[in-house]
Every structure is written in C-alpha cells, then in structure tokens.
Amino acid sequence: MQTTPQTTSSPLGHDHLRPGYHFLPRANWMNDPNGLIHWQGVYHLFYQYNPHGPFWGTIHWGHASSRDLVNWQHHPIALTPGPESYDQDGCWSGCAVDDAGTPTMLYTGKLHDQEMVCVARADARFDMLHKHPANPVIAQPPPGVATVGFRDPCVWREDGQWQMLLGSGIRGQGGAILRYTSPDLIHWEYQQPLCVGDGSLGDMWECPNFFALGDRHVLLVSILPQETVLAAIGTYHQGIFVPETWQRLDGGMAFYAPQVLRDQAQRQLCFAWLKEERDLPAQSAAGWAGVMSLPRTITMGDAMNLEIEPALELAQLRLNERTITRHLSQGERVMLPTSQHGQWEVELLAEPSAGTLTLAIEENGTALATVEVDLVRCVTRLCAPDGGAQEWLPFTLTPGMPLRLRCFFDRSVLECFVQGQASLTKRIYPHSQASTRPTLTYAGGLSDSLPLEVHVWDMLNATFDEIPTSHP
C-alpha cells in the first residue's frame, strides 16, 4: 500500500523539488509530449528527451505508458537520431495515428537548418519505432511559400484521406499552419494554409493541434517569440479554419507545447511540457529538467469557452481529507493545513461575492507565487516575485453556483484551475517543503467576510516503474 510520501525516489537521490505525482523521466531533459495514443486500453506517452543530460539537445523520443493516466511505466527510448541521416540533429515533435491497426508516428526530422516530416511505425510490443524507408516523406516546405519553421505534424483521417498540419509562419505576415493531404501517410500533397495569423499573435506557430469540439473546431498553437499557448475556437470548412475567438490556454509561462489525445472514452485529453523556471546551474545540479503537466480534459463551455479540468483519475492519489468551513474576513490571513511533504491538492468553494480572493504559496511568510481571483471582473492571474504579474484570464460565474478553485502542488509544480475555465501553471522552488504553505486572503469586498468551504488532501506518489523484461 502506498503511504504519504516522505521522499521522492529517484536514481539521482533525494530531491525535495522533484515531483512525486507528475510524470518525468528518471533523469535528464524532457520537453514536448509527443505521439499520444490510447491503444488497446493503454495510454502511450512519448516525449522529447535528451539522454545525455539535463539540457536541451540531441533530442530523442522517450516513451512511457499507463492504464490510468496517473501511474506510469518507463519504456526504452523509442526514437534515436540517425547518424548522417535526415534526423541526425534530432527527432523533434510529432503525433501518432492508427493506420489500419498499426500505431504510426509522424515526427520532425532535423538536419542542420532543415525540418522534414518522417514516419515511424510501432512494433507489436509498442517498444521500438521503426523508421520508414521512404523517409523523409516531406523533405522541404512547399515551393513559393516563404516559411518560418516547418515542423510538428498533427495528423488525422477525414473523408477517406489523411490530413496533416504543420507548424510554420509566413515571413512578413505571421504564424501559419500549413495543410497537406495523403492517401497513405507516405505521399503528401500540399493544399493551402489552414489558418494564417496577422503577426499580432506571433511570427511562428509550433506544435499545432486541431480537433472538433461541440459544434466548433479548436486549434491550439504554441507561439513564438511569446512562448505562450493559444487556443482558437472557430469553424472549419473545406480545409480552411476561421477563428472566432482566441484565448490563452494557460495563464503561466511554464506551460508549453501541449498535445491532445481523444481517448477510447471520447475524452479530449491534453498534456503539456512544464518548463523549468530556475537557472541552468540549478537544473544541472538537479540532474533533471522539465515535467509533464497533469492530464487535463478539455470540453466546450456554454459560453463557447474552453473548460479545462484535471482528469478524474487523479482522485486516486488523494489521502487524509481535511474540510474547513469558515468565513474569511477582510484583512485576515488563513494558512491551509497542507502536507509537509509538498504534495497536496486544495479545492476551495466560495460564495460569489465582490472583492478579490488571493491564494499565495508562502515560504516562511514570503510569497513564492500568488493566484488572484477578482470576483467582480471575473478574471484571474498568476503573480510571482520573479516573473511579475501575468495577464488576466477571464472566467464566468454561473448564478447560484459557488466559485471553485482547485490547486495541485507537487514539490516544484503548481497547477491551478479557476472555475474549470482558466488554468494557471507555475514552477516554484521552495527551500524546504515543511515551511511552505498556501494561505488565503480576501480584500476589497462590500461584505466583511467571504464564506468558504475548503477541502485539503495530501497527494500520494504516483508509481513510475520500469517496463518488465518479459512483456505480456
């Protein structure tokens, strides 16, 4: 039986900042989630991985699998850059599709300045990916298009043919997503851009994801040079996407390069790379860098807004529930009784009211990060002493329903969900977990106090096992 975590086990030794229930490799560098697929009841998660150290470079595809999105098994490296080959400088990001019963990956081969589309197919055990002899299946951008970047394929099947999007930009114009079609995943024909920005939303769009949600389509892009993630909701017709609204997918700077997956229960799930927000010497000393976000579900809200919630499976990690029902007075500061081991979840329900509710993660009274919820304007943002204030994200309150704030803390990862609509993610690095606590304050309201119900849980370690040598 699992118990409350005392330490986080790692081949690197005890590390009070190493997450216990977020996925990360045993050591070294990871970035984008890749090739997400739910295959015969098992979730497969590939990711950008550098086996040579806790820094970006020599990018391989790492691989893990899970039956419940929470507990993972590490698999052998799935893709390695080939010597003197089209992917010698890295196997960059890409996706997975089911090609008539064969899990098939489309990824970015990197050779000097060139970015190319490549194909790899899984073997029966889903361990090795075999690179296709026809690689690269697209060797260069379409002629006559002045592209800025050409990478990160997103592929699906529609009307009897394969569709592929590539992240790009059009010089002098803005971020762009290019669309190709194919009968067989090997022979591709360029069609036209799915969507082109006007420059105000970045020069280059990386890691596109495109999917139907409700009666609309959603396009996710990770934009450069801003390094934020945007979601556009709009309509898709005859290969063209017309955005109606744009929003930030997460209000923090740690959250980047998300990838979505429609699972066998038809949930639209999402993982993202959570970057480090500490300096390189600290990453180097730790021996690891980068963490995967918690799995999140994305649904369409009533106001044609995206709703983002942590996956229900995470509830299996909860332990020792404490419930606090009280009024929070203006000017009062309430410290929540979270675990001393730095792994907890807090769910807070508050009567809708005027004023601003603030949850701060404090170490010995100093805020490492704060989440501000403005109940009048219905906006929320992250603030940090180092990174300043991030932009306000909107949410809506349903009449008669409480405000709901959920926060997950995992040693150096903070993920908050406001009203299941705005997510705020940040990395923070306390000196000691025992002296780090969330505190609540309330200010500026018309009434003297805010009625609250708060639930606090310790969060167990998830399990991260090696794949057994005799695989069934």
| 87 sits near ligand DQQ (criterion: CB under 6 A) | no
> Which residues in the 134-193 window bind ligand DQQ by CB under 6 A?
151-152
Q: Which two tokens stand for residue 149?
A: 């970047």
Nearer to ligand DQQ, 31 or 356 (CB): 31
* Beta-bridge partners for 117: 108, 138
| 345 sits near ligand DQQ (criterion: CB under 6 A) | no
Cβ 420 vs Cβ 451: under 8 Å: no
Select from 31, 104, 293, 433 the one that contacts ligand DQQ (CB under 6 A). Answer: 31
Nearer to ligand DQQ, 138 or 257 (CB): 257
Q: Give the Cα separation of 462 and 317 in Å (integer).
A: 7
Cβ 362 vs Cβ 436: under 8 Å: yes
Nearer to ligand DQQ, 150 or 442 (CB): 150
Select from 87, 89, 206, 345 the one that contacts ligand DQQ (CB under 6 A). Answer: 206
| 92 sits near ligand DQQ (criterion: CB under 6 A) | yes
User: In whole angstroms, how close is the CB of 165 to ligand DQQ at the nearest point?
Assistant: 13
> Residue 286 is inside which H or E element, if any?
helix 280-286
Nearer to ligand DQQ, 22 or 151 (CB): 151
Q: Give the Cα separation of 276 and 291 in Å (integer).
A: 8
Q: Which of 32, 87, 152, 458 is catalytic?
A: 32
Nearer to ligand DQQ, 28 or 31 (CB): 31
Nearer to ligand DQQ, 193 or 208 (CB): 208
15 a catalytic residue: no
User: In whole angstroms, how close is the CB of 333 to ligand DQQ at the nearest point?
Assistant: 39
The SS3 call for residue 335 is strand
Judged by CB under 6 A, how many residues of this single chain contact ligand DQQ? 14
Q: Which residue matches tokens 């310790």?
A: 458
User: In whole angstroms, how close is the CB of 257 to ligand DQQ at the nearest point?
Assistant: 4
Q: What type of residue is 86?
A: Y
Q: Which residues are within 8 A (CB) of 100 and not within 5 positions of it... i.e. 6 or more apart?
A: none
> Which residues in the 360-419 window bind ligand DQQ by CB under 6 A?
none
Q: Residue 353 half-sphere exposure, CB side, CA atoms within 13 Å?
A: 21
| 271 sits near ligand DQQ (criterion: CB under 6 A) | no
Nearer to ligand DQQ, 19 or 94 (CB): 94
Select from 207, 294, 350, 378 the one that contacts ligand DQQ (CB under 6 A). Answer: 207
φ/ψ of residue 351, rounded to 5:
-65, 135
Cβ 392 vs Cβ 332: under 8 Å: no
Cβ 21 vs Cβ 343: under 8 Å: yes
User: In whole angstroms, how close is the CB of 111 to ligand DQQ at the nearest point?
Assistant: 13
Strands 240-248 and 268-274: unpaired
| 229 sits near ligand DQQ (criterion: CB under 6 A) | no
Q: Which of 32, 36, 34, 92 is nearest to 59 (CA)?
A: 92
Q: Which residues are within 8 A (CB) of 266 and not within 5 positions of it... i.e. 6 or more apart?
A: none
| 93 sits near ligand DQQ (criterion: CB under 6 A) | yes
| 69 sits near ligand DQQ (criterion: CB under 6 A) | no
Select from 32, 276, 345, 347 the one that contacts ligand DQQ (CB under 6 A). Answer: 32
User: In whole angstroms, how close is the CB of 237 to ligand DQQ at the nearest point?
Assistant: 27
Cβ 139 vs Cβ 116: under 8 Å: yes
φ/ψ of residue 86, rounded to 5:
-65, -15
User: In whole angstroms, how close is the CB of 256 to ligand DQQ at the nearest point?
Assistant: 6
| 89 sits near ligand DQQ (criterion: CB under 6 A) | no
> 391 burial class (0-12, 13-18, 19+ CB within 10 angstroms)?
exposed
| 275 sits near ligand DQQ (criterion: CB under 6 A) | no
User: In whole angstroms, how close is the CB of 227 to ligand DQQ at the nearest point?
Assistant: 9
Sheet containing 189-196: order of strands: 147-158, 161-170, 174-182, 189-196
| 425 sits near ligand DQQ (criterion: CB under 6 A) | no
Residues labelled catalytic: 32
Using CB under 6 A as the criterion, which residues of the chain lie in contact with ligand DQQ when the complex forms?
31-32, 48, 59, 92-93, 108, 151-152, 206-207, 222, 256-257
